[in-house]
C-alpha cells in the first residue's frame, strides 16, 4: 500500500469494492476522507484501516447501523457491547449453516434410491417438522 493519500478509485481497487460503496459509506457517516481541490477525496492510512474494519464487520454480517455504532462509540465498553451482540448473532448463523451443511452432506452420502425416504434425511428434517 502506498504511504501517500489515495484516491477513491485506488481505495476501491485495493479493497475490491465499487467506488459507489465508499461513497455510500461516507453518506451514512462511516467514512470521512479529507477533501482536496475540486472536492476530490483523499484517503489516508487511517481511512484505509477504517475501510478494512468496515469490510471485516460486513463479512461478519454486521449491518451498517451497528458498524456506525461501533465506529462512533467513545468507550471500549460500548464497542465491546456492539461486538458481543454481533458475536451472538454470528454464532447463531454459523450453527444454522453447519446444520444446513450437515443436511446436504447426509443427502450426498445417502445410498437410498429415494433420498427423501432415507432415515438420515428424515432425521435432519424432523427438527423442522416437529417444531
Q: Is the pTM of this model over 0.75?
A: yes
pLDDT of 19 above 90: yes
Centroid of chain to Cα 35: 28
pLDDT classification of 112: cutoffs 50, 70, 90: confident
Predicted confidence at residue 107, as pLDDT, reads 86
Q: Are residues 86 and 62 in contact, defined by beta-carbon separation less than 8 angstroms?
A: yes
Predicted confidence at residue 2, as pLDDT, reads 61
Residue 32 phi/psi, 5-degree rounding, is -150, 70
Amino acid at each position: 500500500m502506498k504511504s501517500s493519500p489515495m484516491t477513491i478509485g485506488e481505495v476501491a481497487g485495493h479493497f475490491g469494492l465499487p467506488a459507489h460503496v465508499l461513497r455510500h459509506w461516507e453518506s451514512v457517516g462511516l467514512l470521512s476522507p479529507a477533501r482536496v481541490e475540486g472536492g476530490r477525496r483523499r484517503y489516508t492510512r487511517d481511512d484505509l484501516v477504517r475501510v478494512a474494519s468496515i469490510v471485516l464487520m460486513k463479512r461478519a454480517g454486521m449491518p451498517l447501523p451497528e458498524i456506525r455504532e461501533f465506529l462512533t462509540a467513545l468507550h471500549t465498553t460500548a464497542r465491546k457491547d456492539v461486538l458481543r451482540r454481533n458475536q451472538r448473532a454470528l454464532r447463531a448463523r454459523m450453527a444454522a449453516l453447519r446444520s444446513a451443511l450437515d443436511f446436504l452432506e447426509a443427502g450426498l452420502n445417502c445410498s437410498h434410491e429415494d433420498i427423501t425416504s432415507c432415515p438420515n434425511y428424515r432425521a435432519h428434517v424432523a427438527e423442522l417438522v416437529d417444531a
